[in-house]
Structure 1
Amino acid sequence: MKRKLLTRAERKERTRERLLEAAETMFVRKGLAATSVDDISEEAGYTRGAFYSNFDSKAEVLIELLRHDVERTCTNMQAIMKEGGTSDEMKQRAIAYFTDSLRPDSFSLWAEASLLASRDVAYRVAINALRNQRLAATGEYIRSIRTADQAKLSRGQAETLALGMTSISDGITSFRMTAGQNMSDEGLMTVAVAFLSWVIEHDPECGD
């Protein structure tokens, strides 16, 4: 069977995607600062010229990777919400989603982004906007759970709880990466489920 020839735009998009995949691998392996443009280009099988034909800097690549991560989060949350069900069923799916997402790769990218935002104001706005978009998607899911339970939350309240869920997930992921030998994966998942359940059910207007 004759292979379909790619258009110039399709070839450029494929090159871009391979560079993004290579950059994610290298950022997770070495960190943003220690990764060079040559590292990314070689990992993808291209030259520096190919990199600079698609991106202006490593920071731009990192932000694009975060954008992809946010898009996945929004898509996954919307798919879960469409399943519907009782409040308990929706809560269990939310907990399952967040415990399944306790992976080091995504966390490492956001950790690198936090460092970049703290040191370079030029990227801070873009990174914070993406972070807020991810929180908003999580907040909308929490609101849908409370609506199913006939307990409505404002968007602000839901996003406060979403921040709590994200912080718990990030904290547990960080612990697993740096001191995970002190507790089994089963023990960490037990902690994650307990805290995430509390956050979803918590009333943000109450002090206890």
Structure 2
Amino acid sequence: MSAGEAAGDAPGTGRLTRKQQQAHTRSCLLHSATRVLTRRGMHRASIDEIAQDAGFTKGAFYANFKSKEELFLAMLDERFAARLAELDRVMDTDASVEDQAQNAGMDFVRAIQGEQEWGRLFFEFAVHASRDEEFRAEFTTRVRALRHRIATRLEERLEGLDWTPPISTEEAARLTFAMANGVALENLIDPGSVSPELNGTMLTAFFVGLRAASTPSP
């Protein structure tokens, strides 16, 4: 039975509603896109392949996404949500800022090492975004939203401390984001070159430096 055929029934509840069917179709397409796009790449993978892998027609694809770019953005939303959940888990502890930075840095590298193909796809679409203004706007909106969320968590974490960093939390988030992209690219080109421990040490050194250059809080 194909994914499309299975979409009509929900165990124990009879047939799915139209809204549930659409959600099911979208979920299947996203899972298939992960398999097909990471295996074939942005340019070689076709919409037909993605739809077929999910058990649907191309028409079902276009009923949910207008293009591969829009599909990728939905995939990106899922990945960014997962990263934020990991960050929240680390920052909701009683550890020091430096220890939290160490743990967050290690978690990030473990995550990217576990999904190398996704990293390759991310940079492929990032390069495409640099050449396509409409897609770049959508891509950048999501990146900025993630950075803002990180900045907000940093702001919350620094409240009540006896030091004020020399740069804004928005700037600190931008720099940590840039470091993360650099580490991801380095590990993509030379797998294993930046270990979880090394990345954790780099982030720790960054926040130790911010503390050293800080001014006492009023």
| Shorter-chain TM-score range | 0.7 to 0.9
Q: Which has the larger radius of gyration?
A: 2
Q: Percent identity?
A: 21
Q: 1:119 aligns with which of 114, 121, 131?
A: 131
SS in 2 for 1:33: coil
Alpha-carbon distance between aligned partners in 2 of 1:147 and 1:101, rounded to the nearest angstrom:
29
**Residue in 2 aligned with 1:199?**
206
The gaps in structure 1 that reach 5 residues or longer are none
Query: Residue 129 of structure 2 contacts residue 139 of structure 2 at CA under 8 Å; is this kept in 1?
Result: yes
Query: Residue 186 of structure 2 contacts residue 193 of structure 2 at CA under 8 Å; is this kept in 1?
Result: no
Q: How far does the alpha carbon of each residue in 1:163-198 deviate from its partner, in whole angstroms, 9 at most, with x for none?
A: 3432333233323xxx33xxxx48734433332332
Question: Deviation of residue 55 (structure 1)?
Answer: 1.2
Structure 1-normalised TM-score? Answer: 0.80
Question: Deviation of residue 45 (structure 1)?
Answer: 1.4
Q: How far does the alpha carbon of each residue in 1:18-75 deviate from its partner, in whole angstroms, 9 at most, with x for none?
A: 1011112111111111110111011111111211111111111011111222222223
Alpha-carbon distance between aligned partners in 2 of 1:101 and 1:137, rounded to the nearest angstrom:
19
1:138 aligns with 2:150: yes
Question: Aligned pair in 2 of structure 1 residues 87, 204: CA closer, same or farther (>3 Å)?
Answer: closer
Question: Aligned pair in 2 of structure 1 residues 187, 114: CA closer, same or farther (>3 Å)?
Answer: closer
Question: Aligned pair in 2 of structure 1 residues 186, 111: CA closer, same or farther (>3 Å)?
Answer: closer
Q: How far does the alpha carbon of each residue in 1:143-179 deviate from its partner, in whole angstroms, 9 at most, with x for none?
A: 555557643332233223323432333233323xxx3
**Residue in 1 aligned with 2:182?**
168
**Residue in 2 aligned with 1:110?**
122
**Residue in 1 aligned with 2:92?**
82
- Equivalent residue runs for 1:53-92 within 5 Å: 53-92=63-102
Alpha-carbon distance between aligned partners in 2 of 1:115 and 1:186, rounded to the nearest angstrom:
23
Larger relative contact order, structure 1 or 2 (CA cutoff 8 Å, min sep 6): 2
**Residue in 2 aligned with 1:129?**
141
Aligned residues: 198
**Residue in 2 aligned with 1:34?**
44
Aligned residues: CA RMSD: 2.7
Alpha-carbon distance between aligned partners in 2 of 1:106 and 1:187, rounded to the nearest angstrom:
17
The gaps in structure 2 that reach 5 residues or longer are 1-10, 214-218
